[in-house]
Structure 1
Amino acid sequence: MLRSIRTLGALGAGLAAATALVTAAPASAQEDDFTLYAREVAGDEEEDQQQAPEVGDTFSFADDLFEEKGGDKVGRDGGACTVVRTGNPLDIQCVGTFVLTGGQITAQVLMTVPLEESAELPAFDASVTGGTGDYRGASGQIHITEDGAYEKLDFDLGD
């Protein structure tokens, strides 16, 4: 997702991506705290470097999820973001769903994103808003940081 946000900020355009199928659940899926690694699924980028993002612009993202970098795929995620405040930095409202064998986890975040290509994207926390199956009634947060070609997702589903 961070790479998609960088694309929005740098290009002023959206990113559309397709999702993939789930193959297995992470061994730690039943625990309150676990870590997954997300790698963005390639999509079609609309390149329009002349137009700055405007309120209401949207983009979607999709990632494959792994228990370890380079390991077997254990799930997928997908979401959509909308620009809610322009300027530098931008404010972007994002909602997403993480699909694992045991169920789904939903999350949302309001992010502040710098537009400069050289600016480092900050780590952020997304609020867990619910879940299904093994994750029914889930709450907590997901701490998201860049980690090379992946994003590290630290789930804290505790009280």
Structure 2
Amino acid sequence: MSGTPRHHATPRDRRRSRRPGALAALGACAAAAVVFGAPLPASAADPPTEFTLYAKELPADESDGSSESTDRPEVGDTFAFADDLYRVKDGPVVGRDGVSCVVVRASGSGGDMHCAGTLVLNGGPGGQIAAQGLTQFDMTDSAMSGYDIAVTGGTGDFKDARGYIRVTDEGDGYQKMDFRLTGR
């Protein structure tokens, strides 16, 4: 996501590297796809661990003077974003995430995007959680419906994490992420 580009970017490439305007809000929700928190049970036989975190998107770097595209998304359009993670809104930051998404189906003002991300928890428990999912979007609908994202693994204290994250928009710049995890 950072570093030197592999080729000279065309205007089309630049548009694709930006979040489509209406997808920006959905992208923040996809951040939920990659959040972590409480300790996991010692074995898969233990009941699932449930906890909640909140994600707040970091401002995009618009230092090149361009703005987000408001064009309808097309298959292949990509974007990336990062969030700070909190146990309580406006509390201390407990972690961070990075998410990248690609539009895989587009029809009219909606479609599907596949997002994959990694969350990093600071302190104990510590480690990373990997998550991914396919999410529907509708650029004409300002209200986001809740959705589930699969937890596919992790490192450190989350080395065998499995489960899902239920993501909902809190309407105040935060996305609520309810975790249900098993494994260690």
TM-score (norm: length of structure 2)? 0.68
Query: Which segments of structure 1 move beyond 4 Å, counting only runs of 4 or more?
Result: none
- Partner residue, 2:92: 72
User: Which residue in 2 is equivalent to 1:19?
Assistant: none
Cα distance change on mapping 1:139 and 1:11 into 2, 3 Å? closer
Aligned to 1:98: 119
- Residues 78-116 of structure 1: CA distance to partner in whole angstroms, max 9, x if unpaired? 110000011132110000111003100000010110110
Q: Tell me how many residue pairs correspond in the alignment.
A: 139
Q: 1:8 aligns to what?
A: 20
Structure 2 unaligned residues grouped into runs of 5+: 1-18, 28-35, 42-48
Residue 74 of structure 2 aligns with an amino acid whose one-letter code is E
Distance 1:11 1:93, change over 3 A: closer
Equivalent residues in 2 for 1:19-34 (5 A)?
A: 28-30=38-40, 32-34=49-51
Greater fraction helix: 2
- Opposite residue 136 of structure 1, the aligned amino acid is K
* Equivalent-residue separation in structure 1 for 2:78 and 2:98 (angstroms): 14
Equivalent residues of 2:20, 2:69 under 8 A apart: no
Q: CA deviation at 1:119?
A: 3.9
The aligned counterpart of 1:139 is 162
Report the counterpart of residue 54 of structure 1 in structure 2.
Answer: 74
Q: Give the secondary structure class of the aligned counterpart of 2:76.
A: coil
Which of structures 1 and 2 has the larger relative contact order (alpha carbons within 8 angstroms, sep 6+)? Answer: 2
Determine the C-alpha separation between the residues in 1 that align with 2:23 and 2:89. 28
Q: Secondary structure at the residue paired with 1:134?
A: helix
- DSSP-derived class of the 1:157 partner: strand
* CA distance in 2 between partners of 1:70 and 1:132 (Å): 27
> Residue 29 of structure 1: CA displacement?
3.6
Percent identity, aligned pairs only? 47
More strand by share: 1
Q: Residues of 2 paired with 1:63 and 1:48: CA distance?
A: 20
1:36 match: 53
**Letter in structure 2 aligned against 1:97:** T
Secondary structure of the corresponding residue to residue 60 of structure 1: strand
Q: TM-score, normalised by structure 1?
A: 0.78
Tell me the residue number matched to 1:150.
Answer: 174
* 1:151 Cα deviation after fit: 0.6
Q: 1:89 to 1:48 in 2, by over 3 A?
A: closer
- Unaligned 5+ segments in structure 1 are 1-6, 16-24
Distance 2:165 2:154 in 1: 13
| Structure showing greater Rg | 2
